Amino acid sequence: MQSVPRTGSFLDEVRTRLGPDAVALDEARLRAAGRNVEGFDVRVPALIRARSTAEVQAVIQAANAWRQPLHPFSRGRNWGYGTRLGPDPDAVLLDLSGLTGLRLDLDNGAAWIEPGVTQAQLAAALEGTPFYADVTGSSADTSVLGNTLERGVAYNSLRADALRQLEVVLGDGTLLRTGFGHYPHSALGALYRHGVGPDLTPLFLQSNYGVVTGATVALRPRPERQLTFRAGLRDPAQLPAFIRALSDLKRALGMDSIVHVGDRARALSTVGPVARARAEALGTSLTRAETEALVGRIVTSPWTALGVLEGTRGQVAAGRRALQRALRPFGPVRFDAWRGMDRVARVAGWLGWTRVHALAWAVRELAGLTRGVPTRETLRSVHWPLQEDSPTWACPEQGPAGWLLFTPLMPARDGTVREALAELARITAAHDTPASVTLNLLTDAVLEAVVSLTFPLDDAAARDRAHAACDALHRTFVARGWMPYRTTRAHHDTLHTPGDPFWEVTARLKDVLDPNGILSPGRYVPARGPRVR
């Protein structure tokens, strides 16, 4: 007979094992846990907070005994894809933010991090050391490990490439260490990812086979010289050729940083609200028009590429010359050292040039991302398409703006870029949903599009249009072979092709590693339905 979750009995066992404070059932906390920027209407059945790997094991053992589905989250800031929520509305949420272990191994350029460690905490720990951790443009309060397991894209790298070993509680409660980490005497755990025998680490990226409770990640050495470049594109019709030139440069220079190419709407919504908030803090109020005119001093092109050159002084100088030669035919090319931007901001502040200071301060704050300095200021861009101010800007799930992210990958070829942008414009116009886009050159051959679909969270009709647009984008792009590398909680099944051996094998692995199917049912791996007791 099919098993039925016995949530009450399960929670009683968790209280016995972890203590009464580990389980939250009061409506206020459950409503807060269920809030999300995507506009999903979900009632969370319960919330459990674990504080150690042993407690995670205890929760999973109890969940197996009572056949209770769980959805773990690191810090609950998976904005645009589901926030804290998984695909199964009956899953009890397992909060891992209490796992905050952080150990540096500076001899080997590595760090051990647990799910609750934030970008800000890791950056602070590394301050004054020869290393930094690459960061994303999301909040400083997001989980480093959570984003890494989602294959998040940082400013200079793909985060998953930094993984060395994982600690995982499997769906059956087994504690697994990957790489060389399962040998207690190994001196290589922080040095070499692959171990000996089958490499299990990649199994736990974008899967639901286990709960990752810790990881060793490689750090990036601080370079002798780092220079940020901004290259404008005057003629939007030349975007495919512009992308091709950037791709050629990335290959020729061996540039391992990711080049971000954003449209004007993205640039204005990123820099504008940060500059406006800074001016406001200094007693100068700016209207939207004044803010956009101020930012327009530096955002002069329909598209702007942002990237980083780093290495020795000679390498950076050579890269600068190559960039100027290749990109100046398309538009203005500017180079900024972080110290220079900091100097402009400070001098303008001393002279009382509030607007100049606010703009320079915003650019400096955002440019810090390329150096591994996270910020919360990027979250101000969320509400900007709808209104200038929001008292809840640092907590996007509280509104007023909702948004969905659509992130397909595609070849960085002329025709593909043109066709993909045409489809994006057609679909968003048909659904009356505003969108902004950044094109990230992940490699010299692969482009990621980050499409933000924005809507008022309290407007049901606008929310439904945005979701319909996101559905249409998934269908259209997948049909064209431009596959998303992440999806919202509502779109995992759009990736499954009936009869595809790949997805069949992932489901068979699920049967072995999580035999009762309790972890995040339906997350990427096809769900097989209720388990038999």
Distance, CA of 430 to CA of 433 (rounded, Å): 8
- Positive or negative, the CA dihedral 203, 205, 207, 208 is positive
Each residue's pLDDT tens digit, 348-362:
778 778 898 998 899
List, in sequence order, every beta strand (DSSP E) within 366-487: 401-411, 435-441, 446-456, 484-486
- DSSP state letters, 484-530: EEE--TT-GGGG--TT-HHHHHHHHHHHHHSTT--BSTTSSSPP--S
Quick one: pLDDT at residue 533? 29
Q: Does residue 468 register a pLDDT over 90?
A: yes
- Single out the residue of 367, 487, 379 nearest to residue 86, CA to CA: 487
Distance, CA of 132 to CA of 110 (rounded, Å): 10
First to last CA, the chain: 7
Q: How do 225-233 and 175-177 pair as beta strands?
A: unpaired
What number is the average pLDDT over the span 8-13? Answer: 96
Each residue's pLDDT tens digit, 371-396:
999 999 999 998 888 887 888 888 99
Q: Does residue 285 register a pLDDT over 80?
A: yes
pTM, 2 dp = 0.94
Q: Does residue 1 register a pLDDT over 70?
A: no
Each residue's pLDDT tens digit, 166-175:
999 999 999 9
Distance, CA of 138 to CA of 140 (rounded, Å): 7
Domains and CATH numbers, the chain: 102-221 (3.30.465.10), 225-381 (3.40.462.10), 400-494 (3.40.462.10)
Q: Does residue 346 register a pLDDT over 90?
A: no
H or E element, residue 310? strand 303-311
Q: Does residue 2 register a pLDDT over 50?
A: no
Quick one: pLDDT at residue 131? 98
pLDDT band at 532 (very low <50, low <70, confident <90, very high): very low
